[in-house]
Chains A and B, each alone.
Chain A
Amino acid sequence: MTDKDTGTGLLEQAPAPSQPPLRAGRRFEFKNLGEVLALVGLIAVFTALNPATFLTPENLRTILDHASLPLIIGVGATLVILTGSIDLSVEGVMGAAGMTFVLMTANSRGSADLGPWAIVAALAVGVGLGMLSGLVHTRLKVPSFIVTLGVWFVGLGIATVLFGDQSIPFLPDGGIKAWPSTLTFGVPNAFLLAAAFVLAGMFVARFTRLGRFAYAIGDSEEISKGNGIPVLRYKLYVFVVAGFCSAAAGVLAALELGAGSATVGVGTLFLTIAAVVIGGTSLGGGKGGILRTAVGVLMLTALNNGLILSGVSPNIQSAVSGTVLIAAVLVATWPHRSRLRIVK
C-alpha cells in the first residue's frame, strides 16, 4: 500500500482506520494460539523422548506425508461441520473414488487407460456421492449423520463391486505412482497438494459466499433463512465440496498404496473428525476454521508418529484418535453444560 501512495492520502486513509484493528483482532488474538502451543509442546516432548529419531528431516517428511490425507479430507469435513452437519461417508467415498481411479488408469488388470481422465472420473464419483448425501439430507430432511452413514456403505459397496472377484489391480511402478512421495523443495508432493487444498479451503471459507454462508448457517439456520440465504442449496454445495475432497484423498491414497483397494480409507474418519474438533471447530457449527483443522491434523499425526517411535504398538493408533476425539469434545462442550441443555 505504501509504495502505491499517490500523495493525496485521501483514498488510502478512508479504509485504513477501520480495517487494521479488525484484522488484527481476528488474527492475533492470543487465546487462539492454544492449539499451536499444544503442537509445539507435543513436538518438544517427543523430541526429548526420541532425541535421535523424532526431529530428523526423514521423520518430519514421514509426518507431513501421513498428514496429507487427513488435511485434504479435513477441508471438506470442516466446512460440513461449520454448517452444523456431519459427514461420516469419508472412508466409503475414498474407497469408491480410489477404485475408480485405479481401474481407469494404467493397471495390472489392463481394464482401461484414460490417463488424466481417470482422476476426473474419480473426482466425479466423489462429487456424485457428496451430492447424494446433500440431496437426501436437505430435500428429504434426513439427519446428516444417518445419510452419510448410509453413503459410507454405499461407497464401500461401489468399491467392492468395482473390485469384483478378479486379481488385485496394481499400478505400474514409477510414473504417476511415484508422484506423491517425490520431493519438491524437500517436501513430499502429497503434502504440497494437501497444502494447496488447505489454502484453497481457507480462501473459500473466508472470501466466498459458500464459506461465509457456511458459518452463518452453522450459527443459526433460522436467522440465515430469514436473511434470505438459500440455506438448503448452500448445504448441498458444502456436501459436494466434502465429497470432492474425500475423492481427491481417495485418489492420493490409491497412488500411495500403489493398488486398488476398497478399504483404502480405513481409519481416516476418526483421525479427521478428531482433528477438526481438537482444532477448535465446534460440532454445533458456526465456529472454527480450516487452518485450525490443519493444526489439529498435524497434532494428531505428530502424536501417533511420536508414540510409535517411542515403542508403542501401532495397534493402538485408533485408540489414540478416539481418546483425543472424546477428550476434545468433552473439553470443548464442558463450559456450555447446563441442566436444561438437550444434546442428542
Chain B
Amino acid sequence: MSKKALLEQPATVPAAADGKARPARRAPQNLWFTVGPFAVFLALFALVAVLRPAFLTGGGMAILAVQAATILLVALGQAMVLHVGSIDLSNAAIVIFAAIVLAQTLGPIGPAAPVVTLAVVTLIGAVNGFLVAFGQIPSFALTLGTLGILQAASLVISNATTVYATANGQLLAPLFGTAFAGLPLAFWVGVLMAVGLWAFLRFTRAGEGMTAVGLNETGALFSGLRTRWFKVMAFALSGLLAGVAGILVIAQAGAASSFGLGSDLLLPGIAAAIVGGTAITGGITNPVNIVFGALTVALVPIGAAAVGVTPQAQSLVYGLVIIAAVALTMGRGHTEVVK
C-alpha cells in the first residue's frame, strides 16, 4: 500500500479523466507546501531583526521558542484534525483542562500525573472523534459543544480559582529549565512530535489512511478504508497533543486557571497550522512546516509591536492573519459550493 497509490485512488474515483490537468494545478501548491512556511517565517524574522536589532542580541530567539512551544503542540493537534477535513474548536479548552487536572494530581500521585492527564485528554479527544464520525455531526458544532462542557468542567474542578502545582514541580522543571542549542527543551519536544507525526503520516498505514480521508472521503470509503476510525484517531491525537501542551503550561507557569495562560490558544493554534501550509479542506499537511507556522504566529505580536501596533491589537492581528492565510492558500479548483 504505497502512498502514491492511495493518493491516486480516491482522486480518480469521482473524476477519472482528471489525470492530465493535475500536474499543472498541483505545481504552485507544492512549491508553497515545501518552502512557503519557512519563507514567511524568514521574511517576518528579517523584518523584526531590522526594526528591532535588540531582538537578536537579547536572547529573543529563546523567548520566541518558549512562546511557540505551546502554540506548536496545539497547532499539530489541530493539523491532524484538519488533515481529515474536520476542525477541533475544543482543543484549546483541552489544554486548560489538562493543565488543571495535572496541577491537582501532581502533588498526590507525582510522576504518574502526566500519564493520567494524557490518558484522560486523549480519551476526551477520542470521544469527540467518535461522535463526529459515528454520529455524523458537523465537527465545528460538536466541538463547540465540547468546548462549553470543558470550560465548565475546568471551572468546576478548579473551583473557579487558580490551581497551583505545589509539590513535585521539579519533575517538569527541565522542560523550560534546560536548553539545547540555545532553545528550551519544551520547544524541542514539539519539534520531535512534529517529525514523529510527519513520519506517521508518510510511512504508516493509518497515516496514509488519514491522508486519503482528507483528500477524498467518498473515495477512501469506496476503497474499503475504515474512514470513521481514522477520524477518531485524528481527534484523539488532537486531544493527546493538547494534553502535552497542558503539561507545558504547568511546567512554564506552575499554575493553571480557566482564564490563565493558554486560554487563548485556539486561534493561534489554527493560524499556526494554516500558516504552516495545512489545507483546511484536508489531506495536505506537513507537520514539520507547522514548526515554522508556530514560530511565525509567535513572532506576529513581536513583529506587530515592532511596526507600531499596540499589544492590545493582538487578537485583531491574529484574526486578520487567519482570514488572510486561508484566503491566500485555499485551493479553489475543486470547491463548487462553499458553506
Task: Write the residues of chain A forming the contact surface with B, with a CB cutoff of 8 angstroms.
Answer: 84-86, 88, 92, 136-137, 140-147, 149-158, 160-161, 163-165, 221-222, 269-270, 273-274, 277, 283, 285, 313, 315-323, 325-326, 329-330, 333-334, 336-337, 339-344
Pairwise interchain contact A149-B267, C-beta atoms closer than 8 A: yes
Task: Find residues 306-339 in chain B having any chain A CB closer than 8 Å to their own CB.
Answer: 310, 312-320, 322-323, 326-327, 330, 332, 335-339
- A85, B315: Cα distance in complex, Å: 23
In the complex, which residues of chain B have a beta carbon less than 8 angstroms from the beta carbon of A274? Answer: 145
Can you identify 23 A-B contacts, CB atoms within 8 angstroms? A85-B339, A142-B327, A146-B87, A146-B280, A151-B319, A154-B319, A158-B316, A160-B313, A160-B315, A161-B310, A164-B310, A269-B144, A285-B339, A315-B156, A316-B155, A319-B149, A322-B148, A323-B148, A323-B149, A325-B144, A330-B131, A337-B136, A343-B136
Cα separation A103 to B1 with both chains bound (whole Å):
63
Which B residues touch A84, using CB under 8 A?
A: 339
Chain B residue numbers with a CB within 8 Å of A153 are 267, 315-316, 318-319, 322
Chain B residues contacting A88 (CB-CB under 8 Å) are 140, 144
Interface presence of B141 (CB below 8 A): yes
Which residues does chain A contribute within 8 Å of B218, judged by CB atoms? 340, 342
Q: Say whether A283 contacts B141, CB under 8 Å.
A: yes
> CB-CB < 8 A to B221: which residues of A?
339-340, 342
CB–CB A150/B137 < 8 A: no
Q: Indicate if the CB atoms of B137 and A343 lie closer than 8 Å.
A: yes
B contact face: mostly helix, strand, loop, or mixed:
helix
**Chain B positions within 8 Å of A142 at CB level:** 323, 326-327, 330, 338
B315 contacts A344, C-beta separation under 8 Å: no
Closest to A336 in B: B136
**10 further contact pairs, Cβ within 8 A, besides A157-B319, A277-B141, A329-B142:** A149-B89, A152-B319, A222-B337, A318-B148, A318-B151, A326-B137, A330-B135, A334-B135, A343-B136, A343-B139
Measured CB to CB, the nearest residue on chain B to A269 is B144
Q: Are A325 and B141 in contact (CB under 8 A)?
A: yes
| Separation of A142 and B339 alpha carbons in the complex (Å) | 8
**Which are the 6 A-B pairs with shortest beta-carbon distances?**
A157-B316, A322-B148, A319-B152, A153-B319, A154-B319, A326-B145
In angstroms, Cα B217 to Cα A16, docked, is 51
| Chain A residues within an 8 Å CB radius of B156 | 313, 315-316
Q: Choose one: A221, A313, A340; the contact of B337 (CB below 8 Å).
A: A221
Return A322 CB to nearest CB of chain B, in Å. Answer: 3
A143/B338 in contact, CB under 8 A: yes
B6 within 8 A of A: no
Pair B152/A137 contact, Cβ less than 8 Å: no
* Shortest CB distance A34–B (Å): 20
Q: How far is the CA of A136 from the CA of B140 in the complex (A)?
A: 19
